[in-house]
Amino acid sequence: MSTAVPTPDNGGQSVSETATTTTTTTTSAKTPVRASDGSPFTDISQGRKTVNNIMSGLLWLCMILALIPLLWVLITVISRGYEQVFSGHWWTSDMVGIRATKEGGGAAHAIVGTLLQTLVASLFAIPIGIFTAIYLVEYSNGNRLGKLTTFMVDILSGVPSIVSALFIYALWITMLGQQRSGFAVSLSLILLMIPVVVRNTEEMLRVVPMDLREATYALGVPKWKTIARIVLPTALSGIVTGIMLAIARVMGESAPVLILVGSNPAMNWNHMFNQPQSSLPLFMLDMWKAGATGPSNERLWGAALTLVILVVTLNLLARFIASKFSVKK
């Protein structure tokens, strides 16, 4: 016995016509609305365009606000110090026999002291920082020593320069009986450089893909050779940038030179372990104490511009070396 199935009233349309209409409506609803210019992309709503323009404007505004003080400082330093820097005696003469308020003399003794103190600090801080970062990334695997090292680096990165200078004064001069000298300043700068080098090197080593390490391990290459031939060259440009940031920070430090070394108007090449040694920050302070007017004021701004030139020159040199020895893409 057959039972009739009721058919809904479709307004005179057949079942097939109704299905076709439904399919067409669904397809039309899912089809994206093309842009007015005929491109295959959909139109962006006016609200999203407005928000995007506002955020772009804020980013440009923040960039301009960040550049204004930087350009202001550069223009001020260059305009007030270029006469001394480009004079013939600035890079070759010291201040022996010349009073700070009189014309003449140069900053050769301060430039030599700054370079020597930074060089000695770099010779100790850079290897220690790089090897510490290699241990934290490649060997520690989250053990207790790695966690303790990370914790100590974090603490050291927040230590002010005056604290590191006082620590070296108490240890090197008071307890060990050594003299105030340029080498004591270098010891203080080492404490300031190490955390910067460790943190930047650690981050650059973590960026290196693990696939490169695993590929060399699969070929039977030892771990130490993988680090030396693959990991370090790949991260070299970032490591050099971190080193230059550390050098740029310590070259302008004034607290260590105020506490750990005395001012010396003569050039000191080979007695930085037991005699006073001037530097550019200390030279600027001496000129400020002399009144910062007339010749002393010109020397103050000249020393500031010289410090900027040294940092920029070392930065460009380091980037050139990194580009020569880094892995080519």
What are the residue boundaries of the structural domains of the chain, listed by start? Answer: 46-82, 87-325
Q: Are 129 and 198 in contact (CB under 8 A)?
A: yes
Query: What pLDDT score does 40 carry?
Result: 63
The Cα–Cα gap between 18 and 12 comes to 10
The beta-strand segments (E) located in the chain are none
Q: Are 161 and 255 in contact (CB under 8 A)?
A: yes
The Cα–Cα gap between 86 and 103 comes to 15
The beta-strand segments (E) located in 116-272 are none
Query: What pLDDT score does 196 carry?
Result: 93
pTM beyond cutoff 0.95: no
The Cα–Cα gap between 7 and 69 comes to 80
* CATH class of the domain at 87-325: mainly alpha
DSSP per-residue codes, 257-276: HHHH----SS--SS-TTTS-
Radius of gyration of the chain (CA): 33
Query: What pLDDT score does 45 carry?
Result: 79
Query: What pLDDT score does 28 carry?
Result: 45
User: E strand or H helix at 244, and its extent?
Assistant: helix 236-251
Query: What pLDDT score does 38 carry?
Result: 57
Give tens-digit pLDDT for 138-166: 998 888 999 999 999 999 888 899 999 99
Query: What pLDDT score does 329 carry?
Result: 58
Query: What pLDDT score does 2 carry?
Result: 46
Q: Residue 183, by phi and psi: left (phi above 0), alpha (psi -120 to 50) or beta? A: alpha
The Cα–Cα gap between 113 and 91 comes to 13
The Cα–Cα gap between 167 and 259 comes to 11
Query: What pLDDT score does 3 carry?
Result: 47
Pick out the chain residues at pLDDT < 70: 1-42, 292, 325-329
Cα dihedral angle (64, 66, 67, 72), rounded to 10 degrees?
120
